[in-house]
Structure 1
Amino acid sequence: MRDYAMVRCLVDLGLRVGEVVQIQLDDLNWRDGTLRIRRTKSRRMYVMPLPEATGCAIADYIRSARKATAVSRSAFVRHYAPVDTPLGTGRVHQAVHAAYVRAGLTNRTGSHPLRHSVARRLLRSGSSLKEVADILRHRSINTTAIYTKIDRRSLDAVALPWLGRTS
């Protein structure tokens, strides 16, 4: 349940692995349906909507599988002693790898393609590059511009025929 909730955060929200392991219980606002991301790569704080499926996965884990801790407010904690220790990024990478294997994608290993898939889904659904940049928390639109390379369907729709070629 923990691994599923962590992978949902990566796939649905486009979070980085380091951001997933930094989620605290207090960062989850169930009433407003939001998640606060405090420790980002850019050292800024963001509040983002929490999709229902992701929120349900996190809630199910916290209610049913999260070990009781005396001190730790981390949402994702170890299952074995010491349980008060938050997970490291390596455990999230292992969860992603295991999900790839279960899906038959044995040539996949990293979590970063999941961020790319979030960007691809957003672009295909009609989101602007600025909106994708905001969701992925990029400080520069130029960083997000690399995702335009993967949206071939949109590029084909606006491409003009090559001169001298018969259509």
Structure 2
Amino acid sequence: MIHNPYLQSFRNYLKLERSLSNNSIDAYLSDLNKLFQYFESTGEVRLVKDVTSDHLKLFISWINELGMLPSTQARVVSGLKSFFSFLMLEEIISDDPSALLETPRLVRHLPDTLETHEINAMIEVIDASKPDGMRNKAILETLYGCGLRVSELINLKISDVFEDNEFIRVTGKGNKERLVPIGNIALKYINIYLQETRVHLSIKKGFEDYIFLNRTGTRLSRISVFSIIKTLAIKSGLRKSISPHTFRHSFATHLIEGGADLRAVQEMLGHSSITTTEIYTHLDRDYLKGVITEFHSRS
């Protein structure tokens, strides 16, 4: 089994040096196991140092024939490149067989977004008389007002809110922290929830600082937030496919449409690459045409 001596060391490398999340690490290791299973089934390779670029190309062809999506294939290639780069760093191999691997060309799909009136419609159907009503209003206003990922929302703490400066501290992918502005409306509903609803909960030990709690006094789960969003979308009569991430997309889209600087949006979203943020520039062709008309000398 060629993977036995190296997987744990690779896991430590991804966690400590690359600062990847546990989910990303598990995905990388799962993809590597597919490679090792392929080698075992073909019997061509028994040692890591014997792997060649041709072996890897045959493996990529194999997963393509299995019907694996291009996006998943791209992740596999990324994982292979990371693994063999790690082996090079550790001087386990002298040549990188993944160096010439090409990532499958991906079709970039524009994310679904909500109009402002659609967001308002979802907030308006929330029953504020119910114990979780004000919490759910605060959730929607924070998702849309700050462009948070659902994992960032459920991990948001009271100590992360700097009300006087109107900023929140967000812990994103790879435990990277960033400061994101928070508007008066989101702050208003967070404070109402904290002062009028949350104070009546019996909070379990260890969850005292988390903002969004469930009825048992523990941190709200990702699944619960998805469920809240789906229920409110149905109640408000929206037919779009809506998730917590839709509010993040809407946040970015509305900023770009309003003329916000792309670098500023990148910083607020916590994107490591400007390329990821650039997808939002495709959402408003009229805005881009307006920029050309106003600023280009040949317009």
Q: TM-score range by the shorter chain?
A: 0.7 to 0.9
Deviations, residues 63-114 of structure 1 (Å, cap 9, x unaligned): 11112425212111111x3x1x211111111121122123211332322222
The share of aligned pairs that are identical, in percent, is 28
Structure ranking higher on relative contact order (CA contacts 8 Å, 6+ apart): 1
Greater per-residue helix proportion: 2
The match for 1:77 is: 213
The match for 2:157 is: 24
The match for 2:183 is: 51
Greater shift, 47-56 or 97-106, is seen at 97-106
| Secondary structure at 2:230 match in 1 | helix
What 5-or-longer segments of structure 1 have no aligned partner? 161-167
Greater shift, 99-108 or 146-155, is seen at 99-108
Are 1:4 and 2:140 an aligned pair? no
CA distance in structure 2 between the aligned counterparts of 1:159 and 1:48, rounded to whole angstroms: 30
CA distance in structure 2 between the aligned counterparts of 1:121 and 1:47, rounded to whole angstroms: 19
Change (3 A) 1:50 1:158: closer
The one-letter amino acid of 2:210's match is: S
The one-letter amino acid of 1:5's match is: A
Q: How many residue pairs align between the two structures?
A: 156
CA distance in structure 1 between the aligned counterparts of 2:147 and 2:164, rounded to whole angstroms: 22
Compute the RMSD of aligned alpha carbons. Answer: 1.8
Deviation beyond 6 Å, 4+ runs, structure 1: none
CA distance in structure 2 between the aligned counterparts of 1:140 and 1:11, rounded to whole angstroms: 22
Note the C-alpha offset of 1:115.
Answer: 1.5
Change (3 A) 1:157 1:33: closer
User: Would you say the 8 A contact 2:166–2:181 is kept in 1?
Assistant: yes
Are 1:132 and 2:249 an aligned pair? no
| Secondary structure at 2:175 match in 1 | coil
CA distance in structure 1 between the aligned counterparts of 2:204 and 2:243, rounded to whole angstroms: 33
| Secondary structure at 2:242 match in 1 | coil
Note the C-alpha offset of 1:125.
Answer: 1.2
Change (3 A) 1:134 1:104: same
| Secondary structure at 1:138 match in 2 | coil
The one-letter amino acid of 1:23's match is: L
Note the C-alpha offset of 1:44.
Answer: 0.7
User: Would you say the 8 A contact 2:178–2:268 is kept in 1?
Assistant: no
Q: TM-score, normalised by structure 2?
A: 0.49
The match for 2:231 is: 98
What 5-or-longer segments of structure 2 have no aligned partner? 1-133, 294-299
CA distance in structure 2 between the aligned counterparts of 1:94 and 1:145, rounded to whole angstroms: 29
User: Would you say the 8 A contact 2:179–2:268 is kept in 1?
Assistant: no
Larger C-alpha radius of gyration, 1 or 2?
A: 2
User: Would you say the 8 A contact 1:78–1:86 is kept in 2?
Assistant: yes
